[in-house]
């Protein structure tokens, strides 16, 4: 469950992404996030995409200062293998529009667990049963801290 502060921040990010001029591309949406680093802008775009595609139980893990592989990791669920694959496909399309190159991904064909490497942000989309089995977010969460929704 989200607390009020997090929900308000999400609303602000969503409003800022939608504040780009009508007909403008995804680059304009990223530019509408003043004061944010490139990885924070990418994170906001990915979270918006996951929200648009009805991903469930989205958890953001801040890896800055803890790993050289990425600044953020996102773990999310889809209700079925078909939805997991569709979420990953749509995210890859949106990232290609913004980054100008295809983000690397693995596992889309099976739809159990798809990994999307967007550079500064790594995204894992699971079927619920697979996510529960691997519990990947527990490996990366700082001791004594809960997930950031």
**What does the pLDDT read at residue 19?**
37
Given this model, what pLDDT does residue 137 score? 86
- Kindly indicate the confidence band of residue 145, based on its pLDDT and cuts at 50, 70 and 90: low
Q: How far apart are CA 65 and CA 113, in angstroms?
A: 26
The helices-and-strands tally (H runs, E runs) of the chain is 6, 5
Angstrom distance (rounded) from CA 50 to CA 72? 15
Give the fold, CATH level 3, of 37-140. Answer: Beta Polymerase; domain 2 (3.30.460)
- 138 is written with which tokens? 């527990």
38-79: per-residue pLDDT in tens?
889 999 999 999 999 999 999 999 999 888 889 999 999 999
DSSP string, 33-88: STT--HHHHHHHHHHHHHHHTT-EEEEEEE-TTT-SS-SEEEEEE-SSHHHHHHHH
Task: Give me 149's structure tokens.
Answer: 């929704």
pTM recorded for the entire structure: 0.73
- pLDDT per residue over 75-131, tens digit each? 999 999 999 999 999 999 999 988 887 888 888 888 899 999 998 999 999 999 999
pLDDT grade, residue 2 (50/70/90)? very low
Q: How far apart are CA 67 and CA 23, in angstroms?
A: 37
Overall size of the chain counted in residues: 149
């Amino acid at each position: 469950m989200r607390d009020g502060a997090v929900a308000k921040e999400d609303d602000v990010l969503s409003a800022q992404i939608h504040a780009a001029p009508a007909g403008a591309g995804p680059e304009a949406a990223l530019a509408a996030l003043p004061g944010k680093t490139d990885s924070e802008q990418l994170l906001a775009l990915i979270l918006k995409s996951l929200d648009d595609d009805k991903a469930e139980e989205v958890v953001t893990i801040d890896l800055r200062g803890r790993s050289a592989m990425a600044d953020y990791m996102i773990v999310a669920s889809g209700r079925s293998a078909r939805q997991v694959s569709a979420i990953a496909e749509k995210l890859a399309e949106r990232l290609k529009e913004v980054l100008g190159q295809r983000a690397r991904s693995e596992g889309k064909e099976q739809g159990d667990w798809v990994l999307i490497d967007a550079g500064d942000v790594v995204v894992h989309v699971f079927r619920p049963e697979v996510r529960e089995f691997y519990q990947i977010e527990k490996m990366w969460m700082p001791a004594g801290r809960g997930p950031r929704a």
